[in-house]
Amino acid sequence: MKEELMKQEQKNDHEMCLSDQAIVDLYWNRDEKAISETDKKYGRYLYKIAFNIVHDNLDCEECLNDTYLGTWNRIPPTRPSVFQIFLSKIMRNIAVDRYRKNRGAKQIPSELVVSLNELNECLCTVPSVEEEYALKEISKILSDFLREQNSADEFMFVCRYYYSDYLADIAKMLNVSEKTVYRVLIRMRSNLLEELKKKGYDQ
């Protein structure tokens, strides 16, 4: 898998890619070339997001296609300010949906599962009666909590639990040791649990 990715990476690097603006213009003008250009420029990047979550090549391909379709449907009227962020979020959500669908049949050994299990101890404290409301409330508390963190900690949390990145990848991105990332995340989870307790979401 890694070799495949590396090959594709090198291939992409050598190809000339259009600017984000030009690609968005293609979507805007309903030019189907937009999808191939997106794939050429961001296919590999998006593939990696999907792979962390669904952990299956075929599923990743489907997620990619769904993402391109989703992008095609959203632009226009949307004109994303940063195209890659826009794609990232679509891909992540599509991959999570795909994971949910697949989950029933088999245990998926994706990083998403690992990361979600890490969160079990602090997040799933919601009584089912008022679930909808409480989940939104916890999201709000989590957002506020993240804003209070320093930027590196916040970044680690988002990578790990929103994009389900591997600890090693996060460490590499930040040029720190895997252990550091691990320790930071433990500390944050424990602080988050405290914060939730303070707000009345006790186990």
Partner 1 sequence: MRNDQDKNLEILSNIDEDIIDRNTEKRIQYIKRMRQPKKKRWIPVAIVAATISLLAAMVPMLIFFSDRPDPTPPIGTETETNQKQIPIYRGMSIASNGVSLEQDFKSEEEHLLLWNRPNMLSVRGSGTVLSVLESNHQSLWRIMYSLQQKNKPNLIYPSVQGSLYYANPGETIRITIHFDNPDQFEIMSFTLNEKKYATQMFLEGSDMENLIVEYTIDEDAAGMIECTIDAIKYIDGTKIKDVKIGGEQSVAICVRPEQQPTVKVEEEKMDANGVSFLVSMEDSLGLIAASQGNVRVVLYDRETTIAEQNVTVGEDTLIQFVDMEANAYYRYAVIARYDALDGKGLVDHVFYEKEMNIYQLTYVMDGGINPEENPKDYISKDGAVLKQPTKEGYRFVGWTWEGQEEPVKDAVIELGAHGDITFTANWELPMSNLAMPVDGKMIRSYFTENSPEYDSAHLGIDIAAALGSAVYAVEDGVVTNVWEDVRTGYSIEIRLCDRDVYAVYRCLDEAVAMGLEKGDAVKKGDVIAYLGEPTHIHEKSDGPHLHFEMSADGLMVNPLTYFTQNVIDRLTSSEP
Residues lying near partner 1 in the complex (CB under 8 A) are found at 9, 13, 45, 82, 84-85, 88-89, 93, 96, 100, 103, 113, 116, 119-120, 123-124, 126, 128, 131, 135-136, 138-140, 142-143, 146-148, 150-152, 154-155, 158-159, 161-163, 165, 172-177
Report which of 144, 174, 148 is spatially closest to residue 159, judged by C-alpha positions: 174
> CB neighbours of 35 closer than 8 A, spacing ≥ 6?
68, 71, 72
Burial of 40 (0-12, 13-18, 19+ CB in 10 A): middle
Q: Which two tokens stand for residue 174?
A: 């930040």
Q: Which of 31/164 has CB closer to partner 1?
A: 164
Nearest distance in Å: CB 30, partner 1: 26
Nearest distance in Å: CB 141, partner 1: 9
Tell me the H-state helices in 104-203.
111-123, 131-148, 151-157, 167-174, 178-198
Q: Which of 19/29 has CB closer to partner 1?
A: 19
Q: Which of 32/141 has CB closer to partner 1?
A: 141
Nearest distance in Å: CB 13, partner 1: 7
Q: Which of 72/146 has CB closer to partner 1?
A: 146
Nearest distance in Å: CB 28, partner 1: 21
Nearest distance in Å: CB 32, partner 1: 25
Q: Which of 120/190 has CB closer to partner 1?
A: 120
The DSSP symbol for 29 reads T
Report which of 165, 122, 127 is spatially closest to residue 142, judged by C-alpha positions: 122
- Hey, what amino acid is at 156? M
